Amino acid sequence: MTRDDAQALYRAGEDAVVRVLLELDQVKAEVTTLKADNAALRHECQALRDEVRTLQETAAKDSHNSSKPPSSDGLAKPRPKSLRTSSSRPTGGQPGHPGQTLRMVTTPDRTVRHPVERCTGCGRSLAGQAPDRVERRQVFDLPEPTLEVTEHQADVKTCACGCVTRAAFPPEVTAPVQYGLRVKSVAVYLKEYQLLPFDRLTEILRDLFACDTFSEGTLANMITACAHRLGPVEAILRAQVAAAILPAFRGRAVHDFFRSYEQYDCDHAFCNAHLLRELIFLWEEQDQRWAQTRIDHLLTIKAAVETAREAGLAALPDADLDRFHQGYLHIVDVGDAQTPVTAPAPGPPRRGRRKQSKARNLLDRFRDHPNGILAFMRDFAVPFTNNWSHAAGGMRPVMPPARLCRVGRVSASVRLALRRIPRSGGVVRRHDHRLSRKVTRASGGRYRSGTRPLGLACASARSLSRMSACK
């Protein structure tokens, strides 16, 4: 309304002014209602956008850009993409690599002589002539697989007093006819550590070792017995970890960013494989340019550490340490500029942590934990990742066939074994012990409740302190 319109309205009289003022009040009320509706629609629209973005991000996550296992990828499994850059080195063993090969033994198990009977030139007989020298070649082969049957005979004697005394059989001999400890250990090892299915494993034992009566039920009983014998070992390990190892540990623990790990009073280093997967997600799905720069920066430091270690150095030069650290801080600043902290929502302050984007949360980790993330750069004993510890204890066993799970007792026992045996085997393998010997001892009842577990428990207790830590 212009000034002339207002003057004309004034000259029109009191009724006209009142009518216009009432119309203005009505318009103001409608505008207020529309503004409220608009704000509500904007809020609802933003909530829908956030929900769509969350669903898209969830659908875009797989094993290469998150911590999801490869088995969850399904039919849409992504093509493998390695972060390693091509090297100028040729494939295969590098110069100076010690390598591993068969070497001749001084005392072979069997010697086969190949005499020279006649001269290949003139045909003269050389049977009675001593050789000038003997050339040797050794063949390492497996013996012909066959079952060895051992019969245990226990004397039964009757005393003059009438008492009948029987000699005791070995504790592992409990039936008139049974398989021995080596058969049990091979079966448990192939099933629970090499993860062979039930039916294929029974075929192997029949074909290679002539165990003609070996069945899937027999295998299930062996696994169950071995698992129960390892029960006290697992209980001791759990008690030692909970009461002694972790609270008293003063080395450097390598782990992911699970917050409860930080309560332990020791030095901490963080698994960079977890960080790389999250950075890949931000780079590919949210177009966070700083994430790609951070990936290249971490891999460059990793390559520099590996090169220095191969050269026999104990640490990186101070100039490289300072350059890498400054580059680390610069990338954090670049990320802050690309992903600023969002302003708090209007209204009364809310309790707890303020919700942030994934990019912002990851940036905060890089800003708050530079020493833990770059610990592998300053101390060569700290690994770049702790993925090997997951591999040692996280093997996924093959579940028993349905026909063995119809009986509740067998099902529960076998499932217990499937969880317990691979974990123990992974720890023993990491500690450089012969796993087959340990399985033989476990299958033979060497580990019993009320006695001090030997070998496996002691080795596992020491190894568990190294599973996620390096001193």
Nearest to 279 by CA among 66, 79, 77, 78: 66
Cβ atoms of 428 and 438 within 8 Å: the answer is yes
For residue 448, pLDDT over 50 is answered with no
Written as one letter, the residue type at 50 is D
- What mean pLDDT, rounded, does the chain reach? 78
Quick one: average pLDDT of 92-113? 84
Strands 252-255 and 267-270: parallel
Give the pLDDT of residue 427.
Answer: 53
Phi, psi of 251 (to 5 degrees): -90, -140
- The band of 352, judged by pLDDT with boundaries at 50, 70 and 90, is low
The DSSP secondary structure of 13-55, one letter per residue, reads -HHHHHHHHHHHHHHHHHHHHHHHHHHHHHHHHHHHHHHHHHH
- The band of 469, judged by pLDDT with boundaries at 50, 70 and 90, is very low
Cβ atoms of 388 and 395 within 8 Å: the answer is no
In the chain, % of residues over pLDDT 90: 28
For residue 451, pLDDT over 90 is answered with no
- The band of 65, judged by pLDDT with boundaries at 50, 70 and 90, is confident
Give the pLDDT of residue 14.
Answer: 78
Cβ atoms of 305 and 316 within 8 Å: the answer is yes
Q: Which two tokens stand for residue 203?
A: 């075929």
- The band of 333, judged by pLDDT with boundaries at 50, 70 and 90, is very high
| Helix then strand then coil, % of the chain, to nearest 5 | 55, 5, 40
- Hey, how many other C-beta atoms are within 10 angstroms of the C-beta on 369? 16
106-110, 343-347, 436-440: which is most confident: 106-110
- The band of 355, judged by pLDDT with boundaries at 50, 70 and 90, is confident
For residue 156, pLDDT over 80 is answered with yes
- The band of 415, judged by pLDDT with boundaries at 50, 70 and 90, is very low
Quick one: average pLDDT of 353-371? 87
Spatial CB neighbours of 165, under 8 Å, sequence gap ≥ 6: 156, 157, 158, 159
Spatial CB neighbours of 76, under 8 Å, sequence gap ≥ 6: 62
For residue 106, pLDDT over 70 is answered with yes
Give the pLDDT of residue 87.
Answer: 67
Q: Which two tokens stand for residue 24?
A: 């203005």
Give the pLDDT of residue 423.
Answer: 53
- Hey, how many other C-beta atoms are within 10 angstroms of the C-beta on 420? 20
Give the pLDDT of residue 115.
Answer: 93
Question: How far apart are alpha carbons 57 and 55 in whole angstroms?
Answer: 5
Helices of type H across 369-469 = 370-373, 375-378, 387-393, 402-405, 408-430, 435-443, 456-467
Which SS3 state, helix, strand or coil, does residue 224 take?
helix
Q: Which helix (H) or strand (E) holds 469?
A: strand 469-470
The residue that leads in pLDDT, 224 or 108, is 108
Q: Which two tokens stand for residue 169?
A: 């059989």
The alpha carbon of residue 120 and the mean position of all alpha carbons in its chain are separated, in whole angstroms, by: 62
For residue 360, pLDDT over 60 is answered with yes
Residues 296-315 pLDDT 10s = 999 999 999 999 998 888 88
For residue 294, pLDDT over 90 is answered with yes
Quick one: average pLDDT of 20-41? 87
For residue 107, pLDDT over 60 is answered with yes
Give the pLDDT of residue 407.
Answer: 36
For residue 274, pLDDT over 60 is answered with yes
For residue 458, pLDDT over 90 is answered with no
Give the pLDDT of residue 454.
Answer: 35
The residue that leads in pLDDT, 203 or 257, is 203
For residue 379, pLDDT over 80 is answered with yes
Quick one: average pLDDT of 231-235? 79
- The band of 236, judged by pLDDT with boundaries at 50, 70 and 90, is confident
Give the pLDDT of residue 255.
Answer: 83
